[in-house]
Every structure is written in structure tokens, then in C-alpha cells.
Chain A
Amino acid sequence: MKLRLLIPLVATAALLGLLFLGLGQNSRDLPSPLVGKPAPPFALEALEDAEVILTEQDFIGEVALVNVWATWCSTCRSEKPLLMELARGGIPIHAFNYRDERDAALRYLSVSDNPYRTIAYDPVGDAGIDWGVYATPETYVLDAEGVIRYKRIGPLTRQLLLDEVLPLIERLRAETPRAERRARQAKRIAPS
């Protein structure tokens, strides 16, 4: 009889527990189906020069970050010092300038630091859809073969870099020689 009285108590506690777990979850932290897939193709003007057309091949070659940013996005501004640190540390960072105005973006970069190696100009969010961009800022990690290995929706933090991004980059860099060896072997096997 006493056990039966406990049932509502246990059920309520379980429900509260579930709700509490739900509170801790960020509803924007959605799993990206693009992780593990090759970088989606695109063809966009370079931000600095409309004559130059950049494609996904310009992002591929070594382990790199791809950052999606815009001047109207204040979170992007606040994460830029971290990107600067990464860039100074020798990690290549490519970027999509997303739904922005070229003049504003160039002015912004001319008066502050520029952590980006290549910037593709995406004023209408064309590549944005192909890359599954939700909202700026977003950051991808590409391995040397151009496969997306990580995606962060929202700003990078120092903690996130230390816990997830930097260890991943280190691991991917260690993998790279092996990948190059494989590619060389494949080339040798294939008739030239």
C-alpha cells in the first residue's frame, strides 16, 4: 500500500528530472548531417576581388577551419580575437562572408585584424544553404582531404577550442601523412 503511494512521487520526480535535463540543452545544438561528408561544392567571388572565383578547392589542402561570418553579426566580432590567435598559431582559416555587403566587410577588415586566408563572398546565402548554415557564426573543421570533421553552430569559446577543436586538429594533422601516402600509392597504381 505504501509503495503505491510512492508511484506519483517517483513519476513526478522523473518528469522534473527530464525537464531539468531539457533546460540544460541548447536547442540550437543540432547534429549536422554534413559531418563526415566532403565539403559541398560552391563557386563564389572572392571578397577582395570580384574577378577571382573561389571554389571549395581553395579551402582544401590542409587541415583548416571554415568560418561563416558577417559584419552585422556581433557574435562574430566577439569571436574574432580567438580566430586571430588560431591564425597566428598557424591554423589556416577560410571564410564565407555571409549575407553581407562587400564594402562593409572590406572596411571592417581594413580597420581590424584579418584572420582569414581566403574569403568567399556569399551575399545571398547561396553557398550557405549548401553548407547547411543556420546562423552566423558557424565554424567547420576540414581535414586535409576536404572532409567536414566538425561543425559548431554559434561562437567558438576558448574552452571549446581547448576541449574539442584543437585536439581534433592535432589528430587530423597526425592523420594527414598517412592520407598523403595513400594518395601517392593510388597515383602509382593508377595508369598515368
Chain B
Amino acid sequence: MMSRLLILPLAWLLPTGLAMALAIGQPLEFSSEAQRRQYDSLVRELRCTVCQSETIHESNAELAADMRRRVYDMTLAGHDADAIVDFMVQRYGDYVRYRPPLQANTLLLWASPALLLLGGGVVWWRVVAGRRGGVGRAEFTAAERAMLDRLRQGEDAGRPQ
């Protein structure tokens, strides 16, 4: 909080694009609305590689601040979103992307929801089919009927009147 208070007034003095880390929520100037949109979406798509479960948009880590600044500088310099993501991937690997690309080593990751659904479906179908098989046999066989009759009679006979 202290550092943000210190940086905020400075941000107005320094020209944009100067080498400094960007604090979270620091007001930024863009030359077009498209650039602002690109920056806003990119910082929510890139992972802070030290904090690992945060995007660089929400992370307070210094590395995230550096990465925000780099995204900002590259956006101002006119690089498009793909170029900036490629730049980060070349340095930090695919891990830096919150949305992993579909490629050979991420195939299983992408397919896993479908595979889980399929597996669950198979189990569900087998359980239901098994249950239906048991319920469907509503008729007693002749031998069972005879046994039931005997039981009933035996009960009646055995019960004191």
C-alpha cells in the first residue's frame, strides 16, 4: 500500500513507457481504446509464474509488476496480443498462459473433461442396466411359488390361535 502511494504521484511526472514496474490499479494512458482493451485482456490471461495461481493482473509480486509493465510497453509500441503472448511464452514457457493452447502435450488436458464424462456415463449406464435387470424379473418361478405357499401355511399353522 505504501509503495503504491509513493508510485502514484510519480506516474504523472514520468513519461509513459519508462522502465518502471506497474502497480496494481495504477492509472494508465493508452493512445486508443483498442490498446486499453488489449492490455486489460492480456493481463488477465498471463500467469504470474512465481505466484502460480494468480494472473499478473491480480498479483502483487514484483515479477508480475515487471510483466505488466512489459505488456503495457509492448501494447503502446503497437504489438498485437498474439505477439505479446508469444514473447512471454518464449521466455517463460506455455505455463505462462492461463488458457493452454491445444497441442500434442496438452491433448490429454483438453480431452479430460470429455473422457471423465464418458467414463461417468459408462458407469451410470451399467448401474442403471443392472438395476433394471433385477427389477424386470417380476414373476416368481413355480418352485419359488411353492416355497412361498409352504412358508405362509407353516406360519399360519405355527401361530397360536
Contact = CB atoms under 8 A, between A and B. Distances in A.
Interface stretch (A78-86, A88-96, A124-132, A166-174): A124-132
- A interface, over-half SS: loop
Given A27-B52, A99-B62, A124 B93 contact: no
B85 interface: no
26 contacts: A30-B95, A32-B93, A33-B90, A33-B92, A33-B93, A99-B62, A124-B20, A124-B21, A124-B66, A125-B62, A125-B63, A125-B66, A128-B63, A128-B66, A129-B66, A129-B67, A129-B70, A131-B91, A132-B91, A132-B92, A134-B49, A134-B50, A134-B63, A134-B92, A135-B50, A135-B63
A34 B91 contact: yes
- B interface, over-half SS: helix
- Name which of A125, A126, A135 has the most chain B CB atoms within 10 A of its CB: A125
Contacts of B89: 33
A32 B89 CA distance: 10
Contact of B91 (A99, A125, A129, A135): A129
Interface in B88-139: 89-95
A31 interface: yes
A122 B75 CA distance: 22
Contacts of A135: 50, 63
- Name which of B50, B66, B90, B91 has the most chain A CB atoms within 10 A of its CB: B91
Interface string A31-51: 111100100100000000000
Contacts of A37: 90
Interface of B: 19-21, 49-50, 52, 62-63, 66-67, 70, 89-95
Contacts of A99: 62
Contacts of B90: 33-34, 37
Interface of A: 27, 30-34, 37, 40, 99, 124-126, 128-135
B89 to A, nearest CB: 7
A192 B119 CA distance: 68
Contacts of A27: 52
Contacts of B70: 129
Contacts of B19: 124, 126
A131 B66 CA distance: 13
A31 B89 CA distance: 12
A130 B90 CA distance: 9
A31 B49 CA distance: 12
Contact of A33 (B50, B62, B63, B91): B91
Contacts of B91: 33-34, 40, 129-132
Nearest to B90: A33
Given A124-B21, A135-B63, A30 B50 contact: no
Nearest to B53: A27
